[in-house]
Structure formats: structure tokens, C-alpha cells
């Protein structure tokens, strides 16, 4: 049976294929019980035939169906039909994040943070249910028309990885797996956070951090190599976002963000323009020969903060230090490789040079800030009024200056929304603390809802975007032309805040029902065949070929709308023959009798002269209509003529 006519589980009518993946094909389908459009993912035969996969698939699909989040694609149902396993999911309009990055290239840093925050929202719900996704990648993230995202395939990756094949499926998608997943170790929440870091890296730069000729080589790079800092691939990536991404991608899970909620708070702060306190990522360099053998040493956060990639060096830094750091990163150097022989003296010189630069910088900072140089704790003045903040800082021995005020939805106008250096950290007494004051929430702007009824979905989105509104599309069957909007959630001309989500409903066209063949069925059989979605009326007629009580004909046939009335004609059997009185025309002329008898419905045969006198008549009286009557005649005589 063609896919377009196939019904899974006696309920889900497959319409058309909308996508293919490494383990399944996805179809748009109609849930015939709840009368709604759904997406049905049908597992490929090599998975369906594996007993281990089947058992884990059942367990994981049930768990995924229990996850409820605005950022998770809803799983409605799952089952097995014959040899086919399938999952029924929420049907969405949109595109996957991988396709979006391919089309548009690197995304705006704030958009990267927004996407990352929403993925964290999905992961937070799953992790609290003790479900690790295991396959976070852009292909599993759907971008909706309103710009929000939904994460797909929760729990399915674990079932997939139970099916070990020779094509490295056990590795998952190598470009996004964590080092511990590559090693086959137990996975926790931090494994998904590593994969999310890779996704944000790709969104921010337009490319994955590690690539290779095959899955094995890419996976080994995940374990052994440090990523090139995103800002060296795309200079538009600022240091704060870079630190967030690289902290997610730390090789040691203990050095990453430990929970999705923790990462989400940092991303939300970054997206809102607030300062984020994320340490510089760990940098591992090989020890020079003769200095501690072949062990590795980790440069401290403070040291690393002084050695930034080329082009970002601050005042007072030398060119040599940054160039060295950039060069090592750009080569993709294996952080665990031992240095080549003969390079020990060079590396030692570089390390000593870096120490001299750091010492000089500290000395310069001490003299620049003035004062005694004694380190004191900076008061935390976030949410203080301007006057309260100045009093607290000046009493602690600090000077105060102000940066540009910013809008903030959470901090009241005139209060401190950010400070540098941060509160509760040490700084030289007499140094300057820079404060940022809140201008309060961004002023609310209002706009009118446009008329999008009758428009296509693309036209509706364009009109809503022009009005600074967001659209949320739903699909339903309707009398309106397929693909056009037939209803909108807010009335045309209604005044709403800019950014408001306007729901609208797009027609998939009217649903139709195929009228079954009723010819020859009894009345009871015809009623049963029509079911409860079609109406019917009955009439009757004679038929010489259809038995009495059976259907002669019906209309309309073919595909009709639900509720259509089918007009059915039942047979009364053959039409009964009528009795007619045939007069006796003996002694009358045949030319007179023949037309009289024929007008009464009889067939007349004249045996003799056509204008002769009738001497005998084969039948008369009450006869069946259509009976043949023979008239025997003889020629007229003179006596007959006189009569």
C-alpha cells in the first residue's frame, strides 16, 4: 500500500514524507481519532529488527512522552505496526538549526545566547527526569517561525546507541559528542552541556570546532585537541560569549557548567547585556624539556587573562605574548602532545617572557590606580541607589565613575545594575569602580494587529514582522483553500504590545471521505458501510436485474466532505405486467381492428389480407399487456361490401 494511504496503529493516516534521518523517516499524518495533524517518525528496518533496540526504544519513548516543556517537541504516542516501530510527535512548521546555519552563516552573538538558553530550558526538564539526551546537535533542534526553538529526539539517542553496527553509530554524531561519550564512559548532564557548547560554537562561527575525514578522527579530536577560540574564526564573537562556549567545552566534565539551569542563568544575563562572571577557559601547555619532564601544566586564570589572542591585546601588553597563544590555537595543537626536541629552550623563553609581562602589568596597574596598593574588598552595590552606592564605595576607599545607563526589566530606574570590578572581590584601595545605572524597563511600544486572514503563512509572517509582532502558526482542516490563514487569535486593528505572539490557523484544506461502493448491498449493509460520518436517504424503483431490497444506484460517489447526504435507490424487483381488455373484432375489418388493438398495448399479427374480414381472433377479453393477438382474415365479398 502506498505511504499516502497507509494507516499505522489503526489511527494515523500517513499523508506525505517530510524528512529522512539516520534512523528514521518522518511523515506528516492525520490522527483520525483526535482529528489533528501530527508528525510520525518511522524507524528504519535495521533498527526495528534488533531486539535490544526494540526493548530500549519502548522504555525511552515512554520516558520522552512524559517530558513537558515549551522547548521540547511533544511526543504523543508510540507503537509497533507489523514490523515497524513508530513515534507520534507534535507537527511543527519551521527548519532545523543546521539548515539555518548553513543558509545564514554565523548568527548574532545575542541570538546564539537566546538559542542556547532555550536548549538549556529543554535539557533542564529532561535532566530532572534523569534523561540524558546524548545527541544534542543542530539537526535535532527545530527553529519555529517565531524564532523560538524546540529540541527533538529525547531518549531516542540512547535506544539508537544500543544498536551497535560497523558504521560507528555507537559514537553518535561525532562532531558533537563529549570526550567521555567517545570513551564509552557513563554520561551525565555535563555531557549534554558539552554538546550544547559545540552547537553554540557552530552558531557563533558558522562551522564545527573539530572536523575530519571520518567519525573516528573527529571523535579523537574531541578527546585530544583544544578548539580554536571562536573569536579567531569570527571576530564578531565577544570575549564573554567565547568564555561561556569554551567553559561548556572543557575536556574535564568537572570544569564545565554543572547544570543546565546554571548555564541558562549565565546566557540570560549575557543576552540582557549584564556582565557575566565566567573564568577564562583552561589552557593546557606542554612543559619544556628538562622542566618537570613530560608532564603538563595548567596556566592559571589570571595568567591566561593576560595572554589574549592577537588583535585583542590591551594597553601595556606586548605583541609577543598574544601571538604565541594565537599560534598554538590556530594549529589545533594536541594539548597532550609532548613538545618536539629542540623546542624546550624556546618554550621556556616564552614562559619566562610571559611571567615578565605579567609582573610588569601588575606593577603598571598598581601605579596607575594610585593609593597605597593595599588590596581591599569591593562592596557589592548591585540594586543600590546612586547615592547609596557612592557612599558605600567611598567609605571603603574607592573612587566612583559611571558607564552608560542601560534598560533593565528587573532593576528599578536609578539603581545600580552592574559594577566593575564585581562586588566581594579584592581591588587596590583608591582604585576606581565603574557603575552602570538602570534606566528601568524598555518603554513599551504598541502596534495594531494586521489582517492576515486569507493570506498564506509566509505572507502572514511578513505582515506580523512588519508590525513588530511574532506569529505562532497552527494547522487545521478547513473549508478555506489549503495553505491560507482562516483564523487569527487577535482581531484586526486590535492594539497590542510590540513583540506579542499572534496565533493563527492555516488551512490544510477540507477533509474528505471516500464513499464506499453500495451497488447490490441491502439497505442494512449500505447503512453500515456509510458509517456515522455520512448521511443518507432512500427511494425505490423497479429493476428487472437487481433483486428487490438491494441498491440499484447511489449519488454522489467518490470523495466527499463529512456529513454529505448520499441518495440511495433500492430495487422493488421487476415491474408487474398490467391486464388489458381486448375486444372481439370477428366480422370486422382487419384494417379497423389492428390499430385499435395496438393502441391498447397488444402486438397484432394479421393472417390473411390486410384489409380483409376477420373470421377468427386468437384471444380476447382480459389479457396481459403486450400479448400477441393473431387476426385471421379472408377477402371481402360483394355481400360484405354491401354490409
Report d(CA 300, CA 279) in Å as an integer. Answer: 10
Helix then strand count (H, E) for the chain reads: 19, 31
Helix (H) or strand (E) holding 269: helix 260-271
User: Of 281-285, 287-291, 381-385, 439-443, where does the model show the most confidence?
Assistant: 381-385
- Supply the Cα-derived Rg of the chain in whole angstroms: 43
- Of 3.30.10.20, 3.40.50.970, 3.20.190.10, 2.40.33.10, which CATH number belongs to 446-507? 3.30.10.20
> Closest by alpha carbon to 488, among 29, 498, 478?
478
The CB density around residue 151, as the number of other CB atoms within 10 Å, is 25
For residue 498, pLDDT beyond 90: no
Write the CATH number of the domain with boundaries 513-571. Answer: 3.30.10.20
For residue 152, pLDDT beyond 50: yes
- Of 1.10.760.10, 3.30.70.20, 2.30.42.10, 3.30.10.20, which CATH number belongs to 579-642? 3.30.10.20
In terms of C-beta distances under 8 Å and separation of at least 24 residues, what long-range contacts does 540-547 make, across chains too?
A: 540/569, 540/570, 540/571, 540/572, 541/569, 541/570, 541/571, 541/572, 542/571, 542/572, 542/573, 542/574, 542/575, 543/571, 543/572, 543/573, 543/574, 544/574, 544/575, 546/520, 546/571, 547/571, 547/573
Q: What length is written for the chain?
A: 643
Show the cell assigned to 578: 398490467
Domain 375-437 sits in CATH 3.30.10.20: yes
Helix (H) or strand (E) holding 621: strand 621-624
pLDDT band at 190 (very low <50, low <70, confident <90, very high): very high
Mean pLDDT calculated for residue range 61-88: 84
For residue 323, pLDDT beyond 60: no
Report d(CA 230, CA 224) in Å as an integer. Answer: 18
pLDDT at position 57, please?
67
Which range has the worst mean pLDDT, 47-61, 141-155, 212-226? Answer: 47-61
Residues 6+ apart with CB under 8 A from 342: none
DSSP-assigned states of every residue in 582-616: E---TTSBHHHHHHHHHHTT-EEEEES-TTSEEEE
Report d(CA 194, CA 179) in Å as an integer. Answer: 9
Domain 3-90 sits in CATH 3.40.50.10420: no
For residue 481, pLDDT beyond 60: yes
Residues facing residue 401 across a β-bridge: 434
pLDDT at position 282, please?
66
> Closest by alpha carbon to 631, among 598, 601, 595, 604?
604
Show the cell assigned to 333: 595543537
Which range has the worst mean pLDDT, 49-63, 172-186, 447-461? Answer: 49-63
Report d(CA 508, CA 29) in Å as an integer. Answer: 12
- Tell me 139's DSSP state: G
More confident call, 304 vs 22 = 22
pLDDT digits (tens, 9 = 90+) for 381-423: 888 999 999 989 998 899 999 988 888 877 889 999 889 888 8
pLDDT at position 50, please?
72
For residue 532, pLDDT beyond 50: yes
* Contact between residue 90 and residue 74 where contact means Cβ atoms under 8 Å apart: yes
Report d(CA 534, CA 519) in Å as an integer. Answer: 17
Q: Is 41 annotated as a binding residue?
A: yes
Residue 393: strand, helix, or coil: helix
135 is catalytic: yes
Which of 50, 96, 135, 418 is catalytic? The answer is 135
Stretch(es) of the chain classified as CATH 3.30.10.20: 375-437, 446-507, 513-571, 579-642
Amino acid at each position: 500500500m502506498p505511504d499516502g494511504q497507509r494507516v499505522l496503529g489503526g489511527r494515523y493516516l500517513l499523508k506525505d514524507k517530510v524528512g529522512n534521518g539516520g534512523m528514521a523517516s518522518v511523515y506528516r499524518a492525520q490522527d483520525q481519532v483526535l482529528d489533528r495533524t501530527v508528525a510520525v517518525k518511522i524507524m528504519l528496518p535495521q533498527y526495528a529488527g534488533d531486539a535490544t533496540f526494540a526493548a530500549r526504544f519502548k522504555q525511552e519513548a515512554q520516558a520522552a512522552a512524559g517530558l513537558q516543556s515549551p522547548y521540547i517537541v511533544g511526543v504523543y504516542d508510540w507503537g509497533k505496526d507489523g514490523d515497524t516501530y513508530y513515534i507520534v510527535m507534535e507537527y511543527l512548521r519551521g527548519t532545523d538549526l543546521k539548515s539555518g546555519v548553513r543558509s545564514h552563516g554565523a548568527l548574532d552573538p545575542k541570538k546564539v545566547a537566546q538559542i542556547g538558553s532555550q536548549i538549556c530550558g529543554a535539557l533542564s526538564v529532561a535532566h530532572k527526569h534523569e534523561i540524558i539526551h546524548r545527541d544534542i546537535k543542530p539537526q535535532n533542534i527545530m527553529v519555529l517561525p517565531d524564532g523560538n526553538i524546540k529540541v527533538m529526539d529525547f531518549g531516542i539517542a540512547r535506544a539508537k546507541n544500543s544498536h551497535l553496527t560497523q558504521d560507528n553509530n555507537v559514537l553518535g554524531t561525532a562532531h558533537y559528542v563529549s570526550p567521555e561519550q567517545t570513551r564509552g564512559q557513563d554520561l551525565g548532564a555535563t555531557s549534554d552541556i558539552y554538546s550544547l557548547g559545540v552547537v553554540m560554537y557552530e552558531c557563533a562561527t558558522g562551522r564545527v570546532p573539530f572536523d575530519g575525514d571520518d567519525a573516528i578522527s573527529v571523535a579523537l579530536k574531541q578527546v585530544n585537541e583544544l578548539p580554536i577560540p571562536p573569536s579567531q574564526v569570527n571576530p564578531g564573537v565577544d570575549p564573554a560569549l567565547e568564555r561561556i562556549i569554551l567553559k561548556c567545552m572543557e575536556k574535564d566534565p568537572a570544569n564545565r557548567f554543572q547544570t543546565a539551569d546554571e548555564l541558562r542563568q549565565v546566557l540570560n544575563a549575557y543576552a540582557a547585556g549584564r556582565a557575566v562572571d565566567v573564568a577564562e577557559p583552561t589552557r593546557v601547555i606542554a612543559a619544556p624539556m628538562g622542566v618537570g619532564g613530560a608532564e603538563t601544566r595548567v596556566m592559571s586564570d589570571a595568567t591566561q587573562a593576560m595572554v589574549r589572542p592577537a588583535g585583542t591585546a590591551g594597553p601595556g601588553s606586548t605583541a609577543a605574548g598574544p601571538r604565541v597563544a594565537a599560534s598554538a590555537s590556530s594549529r589545533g595543537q594536541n594539548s597532550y602532545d609532548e613538545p618536539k626536541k629542540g623546542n624546550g629552550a624556546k618554550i621556556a623563553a616564552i614562559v619566562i617572557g610571559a611571567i615578565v609581562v605579567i609582573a610588569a602589568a601588575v606593577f603598571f596597574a598598581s601605579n596607575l590606580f594610585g593609593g597605597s596598593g593595599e588590596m581591599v574588598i569591593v562592596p557589592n552595590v548591585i540594586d543600590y541607589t546612586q547615592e547609596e552606592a557612592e557612599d558605600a564605595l567611598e567609605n571603603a576607599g574607592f573612587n566612583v565613575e559611571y558607564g552608560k545607563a542601560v534598560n533593565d526589566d528587573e532593576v528599578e530606574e536609578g539603581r545600580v545594575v552592574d559594577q566593575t570590578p564585581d562586588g566581594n572581590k579584592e581591588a587596590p584601595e583608591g582604585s576606581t569602580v565603574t557603575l552602570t545605572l538602570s534606566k528601568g524597563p524598555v518603554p513599551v511600544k504598541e502596534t495594531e494587529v494586521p489582517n492576515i486572514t486569507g493570506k498564506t503563512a509566509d505572507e502572514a509572517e511578513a505582515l506580523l514582522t512588519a508590525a513588530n509582532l511574532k506569529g505562532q502558526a497552527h494547522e487545521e482542516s478547513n473549508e478555506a483553500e489549503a495553505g491560507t490563514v482562516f483564523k487569527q487569535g487577535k482581531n484586526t486593528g486590535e492594539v497590542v504590545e510590540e513583540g506579542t505572539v499572534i496565533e493563527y490557523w492555516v488551512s490544510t484544506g477540507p477533509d474528505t471521505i471516500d464513499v464506499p461502493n453500495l451497488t447490490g448491498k441491502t439497505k442494512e449493509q449500505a447503512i453500515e458501510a456509510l458509517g456515522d460520518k455520512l448521511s443518507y436517504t432512500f427511494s425505490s424503483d423497479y429493476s428487472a436485474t437487481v433483486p428487490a431490497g438491494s441498491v440499484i444506484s447511489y449519488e454522489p460517489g467518490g470523495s466527499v466532505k463529512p456529513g454529505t447526504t448520499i441518495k440511495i435507490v433500492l430495487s422493488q424487483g421487476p415491474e408487474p405486467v398490467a391486464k388489458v381488455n381486448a375486444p372481439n373484432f370477428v366480422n370486422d375489418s382487419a384494417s379497423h381492428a389492428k390499430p385499435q388493438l395496438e393502441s391498447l398495448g397488444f402486438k397484432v399479427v394479421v393472417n390473411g389480407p390486410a384489409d380483409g374480414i376477420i373470421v377468427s381472433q386468437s384471444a380476447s377479453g382480459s389479457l396481459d399487456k403486450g400479448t400477441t393477438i393473431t387476426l385471421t382474415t379472408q377477402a371481402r365479398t360483394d355481400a360484405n361490401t354491401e354490409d
